[in-house]
Amino acid sequence: MTACAAHRPRRLRLRRLPSVRAVGGLAVLTLAAACAAALTGPMWTAVAVVVAGAGAVAWYARHHRARIAVETALARALLASVPACPDEVAVPGLDADVRATVTGDGVTRLTAASWLDAVRGLGFVMGRDRGFHLDLVRRTAGGRLAEVWGRTAVPADRHYRLLGLERAARRAADTLDAPERDLLTAFAAGVNASFAHDGPPFESRFLSWRPEPWTVADSLLVALFLFHALSWHEPGRRAEAVIRRALPPDVAAFLLPGGPDTVPAGLRAVRGDDVPADVVAVDGAVAGSNCWVRTGPGGPVLACDLHLPLLLPNLLYEVDLRWPDGSVHGLATPGLPVVLTGGNGHLVWGVTNLSAAVLDLVPAGAGATTTTEHVRVRGGAPVAVEVTVDGDLPVLPKPLLGERVAAAWTGFDPRACDLRFQRLATARTVAEGIAVLDEADGIALNALLADRDGRIAHLATGLLPERPRLVDPPSGVLVSANDAALPGHPFWYDADPGHRARRIRQVLADTHDPTPDAMRALQHDTDAALYRRYRDLAVAAPAESSTVELLAGWDGTARTGSRAFPVLVRLRQLLAERVLAPYLTACRELEPEFRYPFRDVDRPLLAILSIQDPALLPPGAADWPGLIAECVHQARGRRLPAWGRVNSVGLSHPLTGLAPWAERLLGIAARPQPGALHSVRTCVPGFGAAGRAVLTPGGGTFELPAGQSGHPLSPHFADRHPTWLRSGAPRASRAVCGYSLSPAHQPAIARRAS
């Protein structure tokens, strides 16, 4: 193996290991002191300084010998798996050579003689760049992480064993149609060729395990893992059942998502005096996205931000495939060769989470059966897990209102993994795209489409009883931000309250020429309209004059320098806890672990705050202005940090949970970030845009918070982070390396580009 500009390892990053920094610092300090001593005194003083420095290094090495041994093992694993240009690559199943061209941003463009050969090539390059990522997701979703991670992974393994995602993936694999089975078979062949060619990724070497061969069912397991993250509303379903049991119907309807804005007369009667602590959960990061299309003089422009956990390696991967009949370029989840957001030169598409009601908690039947599974634990004894199922549905270990319940989730139906969504790659018009999605079941998503003829559409897709749509609206604008945007509202569950969607529509209504640059700027919009009503309440309250002045001067955004915004964020949380908790006392009495988890929290909260009925005051509060002033004072606190100090966002690698001292090497340092959960630029610690796209039917650009590669010594480990931070357009990237993938039965040929 050799190295080019695209694969030249950055070995100097190893200086970020703590022992290398410490020993290097001692050596530099010793050398400087010895030189100073030699210049100002007798030579023996310089020798003494060197001896003292050597002694300090020896003491450090002895004192930290255990960690140094682990650091050495990590460094060896990194250097043994360092990225390089392939010399000879044979991929089973290829019908002809596949040309791989690596660009300066680490994206590998694959040019093949057929669609399936392009997918085999994708499996190879994705396996090279994200081999650990693939295996980590597969093990996590299958409940087998403790085999390599140790006892700390047992709770996660127990959770996923009880859910049975691996069983569901195997059932779905048996029902796949031929096009999707061929797709996943080709992809698996490429992944396994990369494992055979490059050996285990550095994480596997460090932890001493070798990834198992990739299978068709593994890709479906990745799909189910993604669907689970988007749609597993168990906390909300539990809370809903308790609220309906504990409270009168009118009060329950008011407190549940989508309820009326009018405070029910019966609310006063259910107020409790013994207010439970931490019963209201505000602003848990819920996986979601922004996506919109705007038509204009130059044709439609589609922009999409996929909001997911911010991790290393990045949760999305840029794909660029070309074959004689077509091409596809976009963002995919590693392990799943399906472009979620992208285009093919004729049609572009983007997705957001539908927030559909795809999970119900149902009574477990008398015929439920229990088996014992054993979770293998590295360095320990196996852990027994009792798995109970009612047919194909898992019976949850925690009862609901004293009764056993099973989880009826559409992901357990094999049709949820039909993957027909992938056929968008060959659709050329919005009409063809609609036909593809009409025939598909799969994961419940919003899908937005636009084509070269200027047609646009927004559809609900997935295993749903109804699939409403909007096609070619007169406004020329379509927006989906996890809100209930489509007509009919037949299936939403705790949909996003719509603050992001309203802001996007407002800006697009004033945008007559939707250029890619204008859409890219909108992706970084930090308007925080949700908090204006809380600001007005605070300014009207008898709070400290300096605080009132600060909040009155707030510019309405979640910019990093704002000192008012963090006060408003905390004020909203405090008011939700103080005002709503008394009406949930009966719920906590009925279910000791009850929490109110809904995104629709502001509707009932602001309804109560707006009327300021003395009969609705929380226990201990004399009047509403005084209560609000008290919360404002508490929210301000003693210190007044800027939002950027509060909202400092970085990316961490899973290995840092086992080796926190390696954070500087394996992670991306936290930096102050503008944006918030309810602004268009969603960015908070651990959660934000895992990928951004701005697309026209003729092409587009993509941004990722980290690089294509998961290897810390690769030049493409974190190279895309600076572009992701700012709102400017990504620069065009030229080809810097090329090689060929050849059929396994032919001599492999490597052709390296300049």
Residue 251 CB coordination number (10 Å): 23
Q: Which two tokens stand for residue 275?
A: 């207010």
Residues 6+ apart with CB under 8 A from 747: none
Q: Cα separation of 304 and 447, whole Å?
A: 11
- Report the Cα 103 to chain-centroid distance in Å: 25
Instruction: List the end-to-end C-alpha distance of the chain, in Å, as a whole number.
Output: 16
Q: Which two tokens stand for residue 138?
A: 């597969």
Q: Which residue has the tokens 């669609």?
A: 115
Q: Which two tokens stand for residue 434?
A: 């609609």
DSSP element (H, E) containing 332: strand 326-332
Would you call 618 helix, strand, or coil by DSSP? coil
Sign of CA dihedral 220, 226, 229, 230: negative
Residues 6+ apart with CB under 8 A from 36: none
Q: By the 8 A CB rule, do 219 and 188 touch?
A: yes
Q: By the 8 A CB rule, do 168 and 392 touch?
A: yes
Cα angle, residue 587 at apex, residues 400 and 611 outer, rounded to 5°:
140
> Of 231, 289, 355, 740, which residue is the catalytic one?
289
Q: Cα separation of 190 and 195, whole Å?
A: 9
Cα angle, residue 249 at apex, residues 253 and 401 outer, rounded to 5°:
95
Q: Cα separation of 98 and 321, whole Å?
A: 10
Angle between helical axes of 65-80 and 43-63 (0-180°, round to 10): 80
Q: Which two tokens stand for residue 100?
A: 């791989």
Given the DSSP bridges, would you call strands 98-103 and 735-743 parallel, antiparallel or unpaired? Answer: antiparallel
Q: Cα separation of 438 and 338, whole Å?
A: 17
Q: Cα separation of 321 and 343, whole Å?
A: 11
Q: Cα separation of 409 and 168, whole Å?
A: 11
Residue 347 CB coordination number (10 Å): 27
Cα angle, residue 632 at apex, residues 626 and 633 outer, rounded to 5°:
90
Q: By the 8 A CB rule, do 336 and 169 touch?
A: no
- Is residue 114 among the annotated active site residues? no
| Residue 117 assigned ligand-binding role | no
Q: By the 8 A CB rule, do 274 and 590 touch?
A: no
Q: Cα separation of 354 and 435, whole Å?
A: 19
Phi, psi values for residue 33, rounded to 5°: -65, -40
Q: By the 8 A CB rule, do 144 and 161 touch?
A: no
Q: Can you count the helices (H) and strands (E) in the chain?
A: 24, 24
What's the chain's Rg over C-alpha atoms? 28
Would you call 688 helix, strand, or coil by DSSP? strand
Q: Which residue has the tokens 């899973």?
A: 654
Q: Which residues define the annotated binding site for Ca(2+)? A: 360
Positions marked active-site? 289
